[in-house]
Each structure stands twice: as C-alpha cells, then as structure tokens.
A and B are shown apart, each in its own frame.
Chain A
C-alpha cells in the first residue's frame, strides 16, 4: 500500500520531466497531429540546435554559472563569518541582533523591486550581472543556518584554546571555525546555488535580452516559439540538465540538508 502510494508520487514527480524530453525530441507536425507520444523521437538535437540559434543560450548558461557560483560562494563566506560571531563569540547586543536577523527573514525583499531598480539605474548597473549578484551576496537565512550549525558542531573549548594560544580572531576563525563548518557550509552553498539558478523575477526585470540568465532565456524562447512546444521543451531540457546532474551527484546531501534544517529551525 505504502509502496503503491509512493510509486504514484514518484511517477508524478518524474513524469513531467520525461514528458518534456518526449516532446522536445519530436517535430512540430507530430505534436500538432494530437497524438500522445510514448517514445522519444529523433529530433532532439535538431531542436536543440534551433534553440541555440534562437536565444543566446550559451551566454545565458555562462551567466547562470557565474551568478550562481559567485552568489553561493559569497553567501557561504559571509554567513559563516557571521554565524561564527553569533554562535561562538560574546558581544554586546548579540541576542537582539540575532533576533533582528531572524525577523528580517519574514520581510519579502522582493517587494523592494521598484527602489532597487531605481538604485541600479543610478549606479548604471541595469543589464549587468552585478545587479543580480550584489543584492544576493548574503542573506538572513544563511546567517541563521550557519549560526545554528556552528553552535552545535564547534565546541567552545576549541575556540577558547585557540584564543589562549594567542590566535587572533581571524586566525581562530580560519583554523578552527572554518574546518568545523565545512559540512554545513557545503549544504548552504548547494541550496543557494539552486535557488539562484532557478531565480526568475529579479533577473527578468533587471537584465537585458542579450545578456540573460537561463530562466530569462527560457522566457524569450517561449515568446519566440509559443506554438512549437517541441522547441520550447527542448530548451527546457537543456536548461534543466545541469541542475539534474547536480541532483544526481548531491541529491543525498540535499535531502539531509532539508531534514536537518527542519529539526533545528
């Protein structure tokens, strides 16, 4: 019974992806005839080529890699620093400041798009990747996550021992906190990477058609080929592949990360 239920759930989560490959490998005439395809056709590479010719796919791909990579690295670095301070150091106003960080998680920053756009226009950053990267370089979730993680995984005695031995704060961070934070930091990096890679709203507003990220490029593809789903879905497959590959490699860690976050959060 349980297996049957889970099998249905599993099929529901895999089927749409399989479907997009099915359709993405057909040509338009086969689809408009209204038959339901059961096997992939031989047209995937031809469709993929049309996709590459229609939208700046490689530029979008490169941009997505750069944006997601830089954002994840910076979120992890800044969050780990802040998490170390909140979890293991003592300073005035610590509790209040941490509560403030947590409270900001409830503020939907998306709603600040109008002034953020005005700000980016003033800086002359409209259309550049910086406009997407800089606002995302650190966030409350990351700080909170690393605080929780370091609180549990880094013993106070280690920090004190390093301090007594005459380590400066930054050396203590580098040699003691950083090694202890690695598993938590890796998970944070993974989730940030996925969230950034799949993000659409702000990049769609602030980037220009010639220099998009992948989701923005998919939107252009839809605008160009609304009726031809074989092309649109071939593009979807191309854009989804990198993250699916990442999922195959790191899916286990993602599952563990979500489950850990839930227990602590």
Chain B
C-alpha cells in the first residue's frame, strides 16, 4: 500500500508521529545522561569550586562566612607543624600500603593463574576481606596490634623480639595502619591482575618456553611488562584512595586525633579535625585544596614513572 492510498488524516498523523519520533531521538539521549551531570554539578564540581571560595574566607562551622582573608588560611595551614606531620604520615602510610600491596597482588594473581583445583574457592577466599568495612577491619587489627597483650606482639615474643609499641612509635603505627589497608585491598587487586594475566595469549608462554626461558624469567620479562596498563590502573586508583586514608587512622585509637603526638594523623584526618574539631571551615577548605593538588601531583608523577618503567622493560627485552 502506498502513501496515496491512505486517507489524508492518517497521512497527517503519521507525519506528526515522525516529527515526534525525530524529536524524541534528539532529546532522549541528553535526558538519559542528565541525572549524572546534574548530580555531578551539585556534589562534585560545585563543592570543588566552592571549597576554593570558602578557603579564602574566615569561615566558622556555626557562625558561617566571615571576612575575606585572601590566602591567609593557606599561609596558616602551611605554618602548622601538624599539617607537615600529617603530610609525612600520609605519604609514609601510602607508600607502606601501596607498594607491598601491588607486589603481593601480582604474586597472588600469578599463583591463581596456574591450573588449580577449586579455582572459585581460592578466588573467593582472597576476596573475602573486601566485604568487611574498613572501620571493622580497623577495630580487629587494633586488637591484634595491641601494645601490651596484642597477638602480634605475643607472636613476636615467641621468636625473641621485644614488644613493639604500635600505638606510640611513628613507623610501627604506620605499618599497622598500612596492614589494615592492605588486608582489605590486596585480594581485590589480585583479581584485577589475574584477569589481565588471563588475557595474555597462551602461545606467548609457549614461545618463551621454547626459547628456554624459565618460570621466573618468563614472569619478569613476559608477564609483568604485559601487565603494564593494569599496573598503571591499579597504582593510580590506589593512589587516589591511599592519599585519602581516614577510617583506619581515625579508628586507631579512641580519641581519633591521630595519636598523642599526631604520629599517625593523615591529611584527611587533619582536614576533619580542622573543620569539625576546631570548627574552622576556612582552614579546612584550604587543607582540602592542598590535598587535592597533592593527589593530582602524585598521580601525575606516578603515571610518568610507571610508564617509564614498563616501557623500558618491554622495550629492552624485545
């Protein structure tokens, strides 16, 4: 049946419907993606910019906005001893958690990548800690790392090591907090690496075998370079998370200030304490921006270093 055979009214209706359909096709996509953009504008972009505005004012939690003070908040923060101490702690905890975590995750992935019995069982096993909340993890490890009767100190005692003062000394407290972070994320990252390893074509391994490369050699000169992108991905995500550690440090003792001498106060904890402890929002906002810049900076350095290492490794062997 051709158009001419249709009554006029039907033809008009179908024309109108076509217009409607075209309009629908043009507008619908924007409509469907709008929730994300609206919410991001409201809780992502606006807060980030508004943080800059707040940081340039005297601003109290209860009293609200005061005078414009320019960069005074930044200057004050940069002169605070605890700021530098929390910067040091953050970097130290970050290194202690991310480096061993990535190395261990790759090793676990390599172990899971062999022909195992009960594959699903082992994979689920390493993922279990992921479902435990960081707050709960922190409470459990707090007990394990107890200074007097903690299980870890008792175990160290069996091999003749004096009790470590986990909640007093700087490096031990960082180690304990990093352990909590590693406990929760190592298995998760191992599965990411495992997936990437399984994407490596098996004939690469056969070729390496024929060339006479041993298992260890194959691992370092074939597997690791081919994991390059995944390593970059994991390192960058763990950087963003690692520099914002809060839960574990907050829960490491009852007071939640990061230790009597701020031995394990992280930057996010410092931010929280400035904003909600001292009720100084202007200064807290300045801390937030400094932390943001630090994250951007370290992510960038990270990216460059990881790319360089991975590039030289794969390039050198080819």
Q: Which residues of A contact B (CB under 8 A)?
A: 2-3, 5-6, 9-10, 12-14, 16-17, 19-20, 23, 31-32, 34, 36, 78-79, 81-82, 84-86, 89-91, 94, 97, 101, 104, 106-119, 134-135, 137-140, 143, 163, 166, 168-170, 173, 194, 197-198, 200-201, 204-205, 214-215, 218-219, 222-223, 226, 229, 232-233, 236, 239-240, 243-244, 246-247, 251-252, 254-255, 258-263, 265
Contacts and interface: CB of A to CB of B under 8 A. Distances in A.
Contacts of B244: 108, 110-111
Contact of A239 (B126, B133, B191, B195): B133
Nearest 9 A/B pairs, CB to CB: A112-B47, A169-B28, A198-B133, A259-B195, A115-B50, A262-B195, A262-B192, A91-B29, A85-B32
B128 A17 contact: yes
Contact of A112 (B108, B126, B288, B295): B288
A215 B36 contact: no
B44 A263 contact: no
A201 B247 contact: yes
B144 interface: yes
A174 to B, nearest CB: 12
A218 B135 contact: yes
A82 B131 contact: no
A63 to B, nearest CB: 14
Interface of B: 17, 21, 24-26, 28-30, 32-33, 35-37, 39-40, 42-44, 46-48, 50-51, 54, 107-108, 111-112, 114, 116, 120, 122-137, 139-141, 143-144, 148-149, 151, 154, 183, 187-188, 191-196, 198-199, 230, 233, 236, 240, 244, 246-247, 250-251, 253-254, 268, 271-272, 275-276, 281, 284-285, 288-289, 291-292, 295, 299
A82 B191 contact: no
Given A104-B44, A205-B276, A251-B124, A111 B129 contact: no
Contacts of B272: 201, 205
Contacts of B289: 111
A13 B47 CA distance: 38
A129 to B, nearest CB: 16
Given A85-B28, A233-B143, A263-B196, A201 B246 contact: yes
A233 B198 CA distance: 39
Contacts of B188: 258
B136 A215 contact: yes
Given A16-B183, A169-B28, 12 more contacts: A6-B111, A6-B116, A10-B122, A34-B148, A89-B32, A94-B29, A106-B236, A109-B44, A112-B48, A198-B135, A254-B131, A259-B192
B70 to A, nearest CB: 18
A251 B148 CA distance: 37
Given A6-B111, A106-B240, A198-B132, A16 B40 contact: no
Contact of A91 (B30, B47, B130, B292): B30
A23 B143 contact: yes
B26 A91 contact: yes
Contacts of A23: 143
Contacts of A20: 136, 139-140, 143
Nearest to A80: B32
B285 A115 contact: yes
Contacts of A263: 195-196, 199
11 contacts: A14-B125, A16-B144, A112-B51, A115-B47, A166-B21, A198-B132, A215-B134, A218-B133, A236-B140, A258-B192, A260-B195
B131 A244 contact: yes
A158 B195 CA distance: 30
Considering residues B131, B143, B188, B285, which has the most beta carbons from chain A within 10 angstroms of its beta carbon? B131
Given A108-B295, A115-B46, A222 B254 contact: yes
A218 B133 CA distance: 10
A226 B47 CA distance: 35
Contacts of B295: 108
Given A89-B29, A91-B29, A116-B47, A6 B133 contact: no
